[in-house]
Amino acid sequence: MGGRGGNGRSSAAKPAAASSETQVENAYESLRQGNVIWVGLANLREKLPNMTRAEQDSTLMKMVSERKIRLIPEENQKTITKADEAAGINVSGEIKHLIGIHKGM
C-alpha cells in the first residue's frame, strides 16, 4: 500500500487575493517617496495590472466617498502628459490626476 498517506491534496492554503482597496494602497505606498503625499494616477495605474480600468475607477471612487483617499488635479496643467490625461478620473466634472493617502484623512 505504500505512498505518503493523506488524500493527495496539498495542505498549503492558497493566499487570499488582496482586496481592490488593498491593491490601491499597496501600489500607492510603492510609489510614494519620503514625505511626498501625492502620486500620479498614471503611475498608480501601471502598478495595478490585475485590475481593469473600470475596477480601478470604481475602487478609487469608493475610496474617495469613504474619505480613505483624496484625488486632486495637477495644479500645473502645462506639465500634464498624454499618459496623465489618459489616467485621469473625472470627479464632479473635474479631471483628477493625483492621489493622496494620508493616515490622518
List pLDDT tens digits, range 63-101. 999 999 999 999 999 999 999 999 999 999 999 999 999
Which pLDDT score is estimated for 13?
56
Segments making up each domain of the chain, as ranges: 20-100
Per-residue pLDDT reduced to its tens digit, 1-17? 554 444 544 445 555 66
What's the per-residue H, E or C state across 68-99? Answer: CCEEECCCCHHHCCHHHHHHCEEECCEEECEE
Q: Distance of CA 42 to CAs 7, 38, 77, 97, 102, Å?
A: 47, 12, 15, 8, 19
Assess contact for 89 and 60: CB atoms under 8 A. yes
Question: What confidence tier does 104 reach under pLDDT thresholds 50, 70, 90?
Answer: low
Predicted TM-score (pTM) of this structure: 0.80
